[in-house]
A and B are shown apart, each in its own frame.
Chain A
Amino acid sequence: MSNSLEIRKALLGEIREAKKSRVVLNLTDVRYIDSSGVASLVEGLKASRELGSRFVLFGLSASAREVLKISRLLKLFEIYDDEEQAMSA
């Protein structure tokens, strides 16, 4: 919660301004994600879809995967273990 607003702003800004065919989000150093962080990911996913872009995540911790699973969102996202897999997909 402490930085989710800044992350949301940065993420949506990147998606809408860059308008790339693919947005890849590195979550390797994200030790903890709460429901507001998940909300930001969902907003990022929706913004990407509106622009016809792919929204890819990699480097999720066990905790992050659990939160997405409990929220029934895990299968919505394109998730890879590392950057190499994410970039080559």
Chain B
Amino acid sequence: MKSPLNLSRAFLLKLKLRSHPKLLCVVRGAMEPLMEMLGFSESECRAIIRAVDEALSNIMRHSYHGRLDQVIDVSCTPVQRRAHAETGQGVEILILDCGPAIDLAKLHGRSLHEIRPGGLGLHLIRDTMDSVEYTRTGRFNRLRMVKYAQPSKRGPNP
């Protein structure tokens, strides 16, 4: 297992971006090496990046209705898990947008038994993250996602 960085609880990365889909790859490119630094495995890194990308796409599409000039804030902060005798390092990702308040009752992915395009974004987010919370803070929609790194199954070197 890669040694994770020992970091205080200060944020590691903050991004403020316009709601242009062409900037999604910029966010992915910035966040993937950061997740690697935090000790996530390759597959975990890919999954986290997917969740963030889907969350941003949802904001661009549903919150901002395709407008390219709105602002989205993304921040990443290391977190420690200390619950139920489990410890571990993880990351908290906060995403803020100033679109209309989200109707939380409508936040559900469609059934995966249906084979049709669309409606997969929320599933990809919830499949990956250990915690997903949507709240409204003042005039902002706030999405808080937390993911903890899985401990390595390999034992210590002899």
Q: Is B99 an interface residue when CB atoms closer than 8 A count as contact?
A: no
Q: Is B21 an interface residue when CB atoms closer than 8 A count as contact?
A: yes
A43 contact set on B, CB distance < 8 A: 117
CA separation between A76 and B117, bound complex, in Å?
13
With known contacts A1-B57, A32-B25, A71-B112, A62–B46 Cβ distance under 8 A:
yes
Residues of A within 8 A of B (CB): 1-2, 32, 34-36, 38-40, 42-43, 62-63, 66-67, 70-73, 76
CB-based contact B47/A66 at 8 Å:
yes
With known contacts A62-B46, A63-B50, A35–B112 Cβ distance under 8 A:
no
B25 contact set on A, CB distance < 8 A: 2, 32
CB-based contact B116/A42 at 8 Å:
yes
CB-based contact A1/B115 at 8 Å:
no
Nearest first, the 5 A-B pairs at minimum CB distance are: A39-B117, A2-B21, A35-B120, A1-B21, A42-B117
Q: Is the interface of A mostly helix, strand, loop or mixed?
A: helix
B119 contact set on A, CB distance < 8 A: 35
Q: Is B74 an interface residue when CB atoms closer than 8 A count as contact?
A: no
CB-based contact B24/A35 at 8 Å:
no
CA separation between A21 and B112, bound complex, in Å?
29
Q: Is B18 an interface residue when CB atoms closer than 8 A count as contact?
A: no
Q: Which of B46, B50, B53, B117 has the most CB of A within 10 A?
A: B117
B112 contact set on A, CB distance < 8 A: 71-72
List B118-150 residues whose CB lies under 8 Å from chain A: 118-121, 123-124, 127
Measured CB to CB, the closest approach of chain B to A34, in angstroms, equals 6
Measured CB to CB, the closest approach of chain A to B108, in angstroms, equals 15
CA separation between A23 and B60, bound complex, in Å?
32
Residue of B nearest to A41 (CB): B117
- B115 in complex: contacting residue of A63, A67, A70, A76, CB < 8 Å: A76
CA separation between A70 and B129, bound complex, in Å?
13
* Chain B 97-110: CB-based contact to A (< 8 A → 1; otherwise 0): 00000000000000
